[in-house]
Amino acid sequence: MAPVEYLAQLRTAGFSGVQRLGGFTNFVTSSTTRGARFVATKPLAPAEQVVAAAPSEKAPM
Amino acid sequence: MPTGSRGVRDQVQASYAEYARKGGDGTGNLEERATSWGYGRALFEEAGLRDEATLATIMAAACGGGCPFAAPFPARAQTFVPGQRVVDLGCGAGHDCLLAARLVGAKGLVVGVDLTPEMVAAAAAACAEDAARARSGTANSSTGSNHGDKVALGGLEVAPSEFHVAALDDGTLFSSCGPLAHLAGTFDVALSNGVLNLCDDKPAAFAAVFRALKPGGVFLLCDVCVAPRGCGEGDGAEEENEKEEAKAADEGAEAVTATVPQQWPPGKKAEGSNAKPLLASLSSSSSVSSSPPLPPSVSSGSAADTKSTGGGGDGGGAASSAELGDAWSN
């Protein structure tokens, strides 16, 4: 797969924060393949998510 | 499961079994491999691996496509901290398991899963041996293997480890009826090093990783990419990330921060293995016994990426130009 396909597969599986970290030259790598690294996070369950407290406007009395 | 999975899986299993049986050819350039994958002295020191014989053994056993520990990456400082649970999906002969076991310590857990029984046996043996070494508090000195010199490991604690023979992409691995159902959703970190390219049913494989992790868990993936224009640093990764972030934003996805502990072991560096000093010299004369130094080639003719990677995620072999063009076009 191409790097972009890894990214897509990760997102499709449900991961967030998906990033490609760049690649590296593998010492047995052919001219048409290269190693690459990715990182992704399994999202927190909604109840566990820390929602940044946005300043809320008080409703007028 | 796509037609032909069995054939691909059989080929992968047979090739890796052969390498496990051969125990490596002893001629691989271990230092070059360690360097190219991103393993380095800083990571080994962070893991308490100071003796050359052990390092040589680890790298000789290595099959993979990179170094999942290599920093920097987001949340690196919160990853592999003591007490965490790590699963290595496609653990091969266990070099990443061994490193992870040292990093997460006695209160952590490392689980290795691999398709090939011979590899699982090698991984279990390697980790058991290292745990015994840690228990005894000594290791061969850096002056070479089997010289009888011992160095203290400084009270190193190694995580318990367990290993399972299973296919990552059979769709049941961590499902409620699967062999590892009891471990689903329990891992802080999942590793996969040079394995997903060998899976015929990639969506199933990615889904298995997702099920393995607990919410907030981190997946570190190293693999081989089809890269006709090069796939190294500065090759467009940033642009890809920007595109993905934009896409995620368009779809309403939210950035999520892992909830793993914030501390980093005292005295240990948050960034591990991209530091320059690499294995000073991993002599091929060091004890290299149980595992293959290089992933084997897997013959082509199937739907999996094995036809373009040469197996093991090492990136040997070549895809046809037609495949490359298709794969690269976004």
ipTM computed for the complex: 0.76
pLDDT at position B260: 28
Distance from CA of A56 to the nearest CA of B (A): 20
Shortest CA gap A4–chain B (Å): 7
Asked if A39 lies within 8 A of B226 by C-beta distance, the reply is no
C-alpha atoms less than 13 angstroms from C-alpha of B64 in its C-beta half-sphere: 36
Closest partner CB to A1 (pick from B74, B222, B305): B305
Least confident of B34-48, B217-231, B257-271: B257-271
Chain A CB contacts of B202 below 8 Å: 1, 9
Query: CATH number of the domain that B310 lies in?
Result: 3.40.50.150
CA distance B66 to chain A (A): 6
Write down the pLDDT at residue B210. Answer: 97
Interface test with A, best of B240, B250, B282, B309 (most A CBs within 10 A): B240
Q: How much is the pLDDT for B329?
A: 28
Q: Which domain holds residue B37?
A: 5-328
Contact B267/B47 with Cβ under 8 angstroms? no
Q: What percent of chain B has pLDDT over 70?
A: 55
Q: Pick the more confident residue, B263 or B163.
A: B163
Asked if residues B216 and B259 have their Cβ atoms less than 8 Å apart, the reply is yes
Mutate which: A6, A10, A28, A31, vs B, most B CBs within 10 A = A28
Q: What mean pLDDT comes out for the span A1-6? A: 86
Residue B249 confidence class, pLDDT cut points 50, 70, 90:
low
Size of the A and B interface in Cβ pairs below 8 Å: 219
pLDDT in tens, B87-141: 999 998 888 999 999 999 999 999 999 999 999 998 999 888 888 877 776 554 3
b/e per residue A8-34 (b: at least 16 CB within 10 A) = bbbbebbbbbbbbbbbbebbbbbebbb
Please say whether the beta carbons of B163 and B123 come within 8 A: yes
Q: Is B115 helix (H, G, I), strand (E, B) or coil?
A: coil
Contact: A44, B294; criterion CB under 8 Å: no
Question: Which residues fall within 8 angstroms of residue B267, CB to CB, at 6 or more apart?
Answer: none
- pLDDT at residue B59 tops 60: yes
Q: Which of the four pLDDT bands, split at 50, 70 and 90, describes residue B56?
A: confident
pLDDT, tens digit (0-9, with 9 covering 90-100), for A21-42: 876 655 455 555 677 889 999 9
Give the tens place of pLDDT for each residue, B174-186. 999 889 999 999 9
Tally of domains in chain B: 1
pLDDT at B100: 93
Instruction: Select the residue from B168, B231, B233 to test the A interface by mutation, using most A Cβ atoms within 10 A.
Output: B231
Cα–Cα distance measured from residue B198 to residue B194, given in angstroms and rounded to the nearest whole number: 8
Each as own residue / partner, the long-range contacts of residues B116-119 (CB below 8 Å, 24 or more positions apart, any chain) are B116/B12, B116/B13, B116/B16, B116/B17, B116/B20, B116/B165, B117/B17, B117/B165, B118/B16, B118/B17, B118/B20, B118/B21, B119/B16, B119/B17, B119/B20, B119/B63, B119/B91, B119/B92, B119/B93, B119/B94, B119/B291
Residue B288 CA to residue B32 CA, distance in Å, equals 16
Q: Does residue B308 have a pLDDT over 60?
A: no
Average pLDDT over residues B281-290: 28
